[in-house]
Amino acid sequence: MGIEYQLKVPPENWDALKHALNEHLRPLVLRIDPDAQADFPIAYVEMQEDAVYVCDTLTNSAIASEIMRGIVDLMLLYSPSVTIVRE
């Protein structure tokens, strides 16, 4: 259980962003949460075909919000807007 979020950019910006996410997403998450590869991480992060999904597991919401902010900051380098939808 947790709170799930979908982070999206306009479709015309997704291809450029996808390449940056492939390179920077994992190091970004590990820098903020060195235990991100644990069996039960603070936040699950997954890039899918058209968006990034983040699940705050509610074990440390301050760290989960830092992860989300880092991802949004990265996304804004490649897009003028980011839409966040709570799932």
Domains in the chain and their CATH numbers?
A: 3-86 (3.30.70)
> How does pLDDT run across 3-37, given as a tens digit for each residue?
999 999 999 999 999 999 999 999 999 999 998 98
**What's this model's pTM, rounded to 2 decimal places?**
0.92
13 touches 79 (CB < 8 A): yes
